[in-house]
Each structure stands twice: as structure tokens, then as C-alpha cells.
Structure 1
């Protein structure tokens, strides 16, 4: 099949064929191929014998391997190399790659051997293992799904483990702009480490993490404002980093640490965030109670109260006594986990209802 793809690529060697060859070898690098896999894949793509000779580091001994399109190892050459390239890393030649094609070379042979040599150089180059900080950054800001799983493994965190992100930043008028919230190692999952990103310090913490009076006092005394994100599985933590940053922007001198859970549906205002509604406790609980007749009545009472502005105005609109409206709002508050009728939660309750009304 790969040989057929290669022959079809001859029809468009200047564009699609070149892209196909490049992507083919790039995928080998992405999947961590070794030199044997590279040789096998090259022989299949070229539909002819491919070879590689590696000079072992610090020795004069050379290691030579050849492979035919069927994946059979053939140590004795049948034909001389039709095209070859040196494997070079930082001006050091580590070996050679080649193909052995009978007859006239095909249009993509030069590109194929070039990519073989480049891929071999990447494979043979000594690999430095990512640091804990690099794994932490790659988990919070991953390039792809493979980076997420690699970082989870590197940090010793199961992908399904519930975690949160804490974003901290020193207030603008503080003398020490590097001040940050000190998170106990007991609260940190696996080997995760704090990282700096865009002027903030981000920590990965356990999903059960919540601000304590002592932590709030420490944040205030060190002139730090902090935000705690919504909870998510470690493999999806990058989707809720924005909620930690948004929560931090809501912190103040009286409330130096803000938990995104306490913002409810307001988290949907986090810049650049696309948050699944199922991550927001307010919405989950409100939808749950709204599926019952009594719950629907409670939500209608809240909707009227928010539009009316006062208990008495809502009571007049609903032809109820104001104590009945207050009782309904109290009952709804118990279910959704926050006081829906207080002034400080008015924006939160309004956002919750707007999302529910939008479907």
C-alpha cells in the first residue's frame, strides 16, 4: 500500500507528494520511532530496499542494517545505493542512509532520502528528559493529546484524577512583585511544580483543594491575589486554567482568594474559555431541580425576583405573600448551594438563569 502511495505521488511531485513524504516521516518522530522502525517504514514507502549505517559513539565500529519493502532484513546488498545522504547532528556525521532502487530514480527519491537522514538524526540525537516544571507546563498548556498523557505519566498523576489550578499574582503596588502563594506539597498531586506564565504563578492542586482562613491571611499579608479554578480531570485541566485566572481577577483586599466554584455561571465570562456547563455546580444543580414541577416553580420565582428587584415587587407580580417568595428562594438556595437572594450573589444568580433560559 505504501509503495502504491509513493507511485501515485509521482503524479504531483511538486506539492501533494512532497507534503505526503514530509508528513510520513514527521509522524514517525511524533510516535517515537527507533532506527529499525524508520528503516522498515522507509523501505515500505519507497517500495525498494532501504539501508542505514550508524557509527557508534566513541568507536570506529559501524552498525549496518538493510530492509526490503516486506519488512525482511537483508544483510547482503543486492544493488548499490541509488541515492544516499549523511546523518548529521551539529556538523558531526553519525552515519548514512540510502535506498537501493533498480533502474531510474523516481521524482520523490531525493526528498525521501533527505527526510530519512533528518529523521535518523532526530532519533539518534541524545534525548533530554523533560523536567518536572516542563511536564507541568505541558499539562497546563499542551500542544496535543499525546503531550497531556506524557505529562501525566511524567508527573505520576493518573489522567482521571480530579485537580484544580491556583493562579496567583502580586498586586501592582506591592514592593515585592515576585510574591506568591505558598502551596503545601500535601495539596499537590504527583510531582507537579508551580510555573510562571504571563505574569502569573500557576500551581496544580488536588481537586478537593479549597481556601482556608490561614491561607487567605497569608495571601493578604504577602500582597497576593489568587484564584482557584473549577475542578477537572488531570487530562482536561488545560480547559479550566482560564477559570483560575478569571477568579483571580475577582479577588480583592477583603477577599484575596476567590474560588471559581463561588462564581458559578459567571465563569463563562472567562476570556478565551470554552467551559462545559457540566463543570459548573450551579448549572448542574439548577438543571436537576428544574426537571421537577416544584423545582420549576422555584426557578420561576427566582426569575421573577431578579426582574422585579425586591421581594415585595416579586410577590405582587406573582400574587403571593412576600414571605412565600422568601421561602421559595430559601429552598432554592439550599439546593443550588448559594443564597440566590443576596446582593453579592445577584450577578451569579442572574448568570445562572440566563444560561438556563438559553437552553
Structure 2
């Protein structure tokens, strides 16, 4: 290959550059290079930042020409050269505002995408078992640092790369490099999102993500609340999730809410709306009801529960009761992974 490249260089330098790029990515694949190494190679060969956008729930990233990892570009210019899989799930984008054929951008992007497919499996198929294993190793608090670092390399990350973990019931952990990306990957699913931490501390982000997941709701009338909860926003409630023993007897307030909600289907959504809004009128707007209807509901709910749900103390009491109720439900239906 080297002899052929040398001969072609003398006749057609641009063709030789293309062969060198092809050979470079082939060599990366043959040596089992991780995703980050491939994206870094695309950035180095093109001389501009390279973005990997993975819409399958894998790891998206942006690497500059000097090899620095950063979050994916907030806005991707449609004129930037790119290569994308047929289903649009995985894309390589090179940040060159003035495309120049001499830079071989199209070839670099296409070969990088092929090398990434080799590294993580076909992007239009289910995530390979070895990548799932790598993800679980990264978030496993019992894994040795050596094993975690090897798993991070498999995913194209370093121990210093900042990530956060997304927890979704019944799904493998998902890594993201920024909260905005984590929200995007969670989509419409119920999800808990851990803090952004160095990848070496991913187990803590995973633990916090799972705790935040216990505070989520379906977002329906029967189960009102947020479908996505960030650990950063949950505060002391995370401590409550992690210290409330499964099967423990719940406070009377929680029992009262659950009991009365069984015969008053309007109760839970009313409690959620009033406890999270400044006024009954605001709560009515959130529910799409006339304020007099919500005023009547709030008065009835206060009589049923035994506290004024509209004053500040009552709102805090309601929020705590609803949170503990969610935690108890989560412990019964989805115990935290061991």
C-alpha cells in the first residue's frame, strides 16, 4: 500500500491523499480503535472540529482538530460536509464553513462513519452486547478503575471527559456529554438525569440518575408530575429516595392522599397544580379549568386531607407527600439496580 501510495503521489497528489485517508481509517479499525479515536482522526485529517451525532442513544461528541473533546455543536450548519447512515441515526459532521474538495471532507466523513460502524456495530441494528457491557462497566461502582478506563476507551471517552448518565426503566444506561443532550436522548420517556461529572465518576451520576427517576411521574391525570427529573433540581429529595427503606410504613399524609385519590380522581392533579403554582388562578390555568372550579376543588381537598393546601406550608406538605408517594411506588414497581 505504501509503495502504491508513493507512486500515485508522483502522478496525482490528491488521489494519494485520498488513499492515505482510507488507509488511516482502515488501520484504526484493524487495531480496534474506539469511537473517540475515530472522531479525533476525522478532525485531525480535515483540520476542523468533527461532530459525531448519534441519535440511537449512544455517545455523541465533538472533537477539535487538536484532539480536545467538547459537547456537540449547538447548531449544525446544513452546509457543513457530512456523512450520515441511511436511517439518519448516526452522522459525522465536519465544521468547515467553506467546503473545499482539496480537503477530501466527504471522503474523510464517509470513512470515519464506516470506522465508527466497525467500532460500535451497525448503527441500524440493536446496540451490540459488548457496548452495553462497556456502558454498564462505566457506571458500575464495583468495577475497578482499570476496567472502567478500558470501558471508557471502548466508548471513545477518557476518564476526564465530563458526562452525565440517563436512567430509563427497562433500558441500559445512556451517557451524554451535556444536560441538553441528555434531555434529547431521554425524549418522551420517563427518565432521571444524573449530574455532569468526569467520566471516572459516572457511577455517582448513575446512582443520582436512578434516584431522580424515582421522582418522575407519567404526567397524566392519574399520575401528574414531571416525566423527566434532573438530579441537580431534586436537592434533598435525592437523600430521601436513597434512605427511605423499601416496604417501610409511609407517613399518614401519603396514606391519606392515596386513599382519597381512589374515590376522587381529580385530587392528584389538583394537588400537583396548586402545590407547584403561585396561586389558585395559576393552577387553574395549568389545568385548563375555570378558577372557581379549582377554588372549589382546593377547599374540598383541604377538608379531605386535614390541611390548607393553598398556603405556603400546606404546599410544602403536599409536595413532600406526593414525592414520598412516588418514591414508594417506584420502590414497589422498579427497585434500584444492584
Same fold flag (TM > 0.5): no
Greater strand content: 1
Q: Report the TM-score, using the length of structure 1 for normalisation.
A: 0.28
Q: TM-score, normalised by structure 2?
A: 0.30
